[in-house]
Amino acid sequence: MLNRHTMLDLVILNVPGTTSARPPAAAAILKSAVTKANFSCKTIDLNARFVNEYQYHLDFDKLTGFFIDQYFDQFISDQASELIMSWTKELITLKPKYIGISVFTYQTRKATELMCFSIRNLLPETKIILGGQGLLDGGINGARTWIDRLDNLNLLDHWVVSEGEQVILDILNHTAEKEVTASNFIQNEHLDDLPFPDYSDYNFDLYEKKILPITGSRGCVRNCTFCDIHTHWKKFVWRSGENIANEMITQSKKYNINNFEFTDSLVNGNQKEYKNMIAILAEHNSKSNIPITWSGQFIIRPKSTGDEYMWETTARSGAVDLSIGIESGSESVRYHLGKNFSNSDIDHAVDLMARYNLSCTFLMLFGYPTETEKDFQDTLDMFHRYKKYANTVIKDIEFGSTLGILPNTPLEIQKDELGLILDPEYENFWESTKNPTLTFKERIRRRIVASQTAETLGYKFNQDRHKELLMNFWQLYKNKKQIIPIKSIKIN
C-alpha cells in the first residue's frame, strides 16, 4: 500500500550471479525495516526469475557465465543487454524514488553494473543505492577499486557495506552520507528490536528449496585463521533464543513454510541463547501437526562443557542438518586454525547425534599451511573411523577445493611468520617456505585422494561439485607457472 507517497519509495533488487536454490534474505530484511517506518517498498528477485525463465534456453550457460564475468561474446552480450533493458522497463511503471541493488558477492557485480547503466538511461531521476559484501575486496576494510569506478561513472548515489536497516532509513529520510563504510558504519547491537523479514513479494515457487532463511547472530564468536568473517563485522552480536524461535513460529504460519536455514556463522555461537531457542522449538513441535525443521552451521564444544540433554533437545527442536567445520582429522591442524575441539570431542558429538537420529555435514579443508603428510593421514583415518556413520549421521561431506588465503584474514596477516608467499592474483596459488613440500600440486593431490577415499568407504556426496573448479585451477596454475602436468594428478 502506497500510504505515504504517490511514487514508490524503494525497490530492492536481487540480480543474477548467485544461487537461486533458496530465497535471499537481504531484501526481505530491508523491506520490513522500511515499511515499519511507513515508507513504501517492493522487492524483486531478478536472479530467480532469470534462472526459472532461461534455464532451458539454449544459451543459458553462456548467459550465466557472462553475468559472472567468465564468458563473453558479442551475441551473448546483446542478449544480456536486452534482458537488462526489459527488467528496467518494468521498473519504470513502479516510478521508484530509489532502487537498491543487493551486491551479495563479487559475482553479482557484472549484472549490477549493467542494471545501473540501464537505470541511469531509462530512469534518470531515480537514485541508486548499492549494498552488500560484494562492493569491496576483502571485507569492510577492503579495496574499493570496483565501487570507485562505478562512482566515477556516476552509476550510484549511495553505497553501503554490512547491515543496512538503519542506513536505508537514513537514505530515505535524506540524512545519510553517500558512503557507509568501516569508518562510519555503526553496528546494531540490539537485534531483537528489528522486525521480522517481510517475504510478501516473494514467489516461493521460483526456488528449488522451500526454505526461509533466518539470522540469529552477526559476526562470529570464533576467530579461525582462514576465515574473513571479522572483516565484515566489528563484533559478535546475537538475538535472544526466544526472539529467534518466535520468528520461526510466526513466519511458518504466515508463509506456510516450516523449513528454516540459518545464515549465522554459528547457530550455537551463544550457547545460552541456543539452548533457549531449541527448548521453545521443541515445545512447539510437540504440539504441532507440522513441526518446524532447521539447518545451520554448528560448532563442536569440548565434551566436558556439553550435556546429553542439549543434543536430545536439538533433535526435538527440528534440527535436520548441522554443518560442522571439522576442517581436518588432525588435532594439530585444527588447533592451529582456531577450532579448539579434540578428536575425542568429535567422537562424543557423533555418538550422541547417532543416539538421537541427528545428521550433519562435515565441512573439510585441505592444504592448510601447517598440514604435514601425517596430518593428512589423520584426516583419512577419521573417514575410516566414522565409516559406520556414513550416510546416516554423516549424510554429506563438503570437500571444497583447496585452501585459499583471503585478504585480511589472520593467515594473510601472519604470512611472514608462517613463511607464506602469496600470489597477487589467485588466493589458492600460495607457497610455503616453512612447509615446502605442500605445493599446489600436492594440495590438489590430497584433495583428490580424500574424496576418493571417502567414496571407497561408502560416503555419499556430490563428487562433481568441485571437479571443474579443480581442473580450472590446475590449468590456470600450469599456464601461470609454465609447468608440465604431472601424471599423478588426474582431474580430467
Higher-pLDDT residue of 72 and 318 is 318
Mean pLDDT across 135-142: 76
15: left (phi over 0), alpha (psi -120 to 50) or beta: beta
How much is the pLDDT for 478? 80
pLDDT of residue 228: 84
Q: What is the pLDDT of residue 463?
A: 64
pLDDT of 3 above 60: no
Q: Is the pLDDT of residue 377 over 90?
A: yes
* Position 483 confidence tier, pLDDT thresholds 50, 70, 90: very low
Domain ranges of the chain: 8-180, 210-481
- Give the class (CATH, top level) of 8-180: alpha beta
Tens digit of pLDDT for each residue in 161-205?
Answer: 878 999 999 999 999 888 887 677 788 899 999 999 999 999 999
Q: What is the mean pLDDT of the chain?
A: 91
412, amino acid identity: E
- Domain 210-481: assigned CATH number: 3.80.30.20
Q: Report the distance separating Cα 231 and Cα 235, nearest Å.
A: 10
Of residues 70 and 210, the one with the higher pLDDT is 210
Which one has a higher pLDDT value, 73 or 124? 124
pLDDT tens digits for range 413-449: 999 999 999 988 788 899 999 999 999 999 999 999 9
Task: Provide, rounded to the nearest whole percent, the portion of the chain with pLDDT above 90.
Answer: 75
pTM here? Answer: 0.89
Residue 491 pLDDT more than 60?
A: no
Tell me the pLDDT tens digit for each residue of 248-305: 999 999 999 999 999 999 999 999 999 999 999 999 999 999 999 999 999 999 888 7
Q: What are 148-160's pLDDT values in tens digits?
A: 999 999 999 999 9
pLDDT band at 490 (very low <50, low <70, confident <90, very high): very low
**Residue 464: what pLDDT?**
58
* pLDDT for residue 393: 97
Return d(Cα 472, Cα 467) in angstroms, integer.
9
pLDDT at 244 over 90: yes
Please, what sign has the CA dihedral across residues 372, 375, 379, 381? positive
Tell me the pLDDT tens digit for each residue of 321-371: 999 999 999 999 999 999 999 999 999 999 999 999 999 999 999 999 999
What is residue 484's predicted lDDT score, i.e. its pLDDT? 38
Q: Identify the weakest region by mean pLDDT among 216-220, 226-230, 263-267.
A: 226-230
C-alpha cell at 51: 534462472
Grid cell for residue 246: 518466535
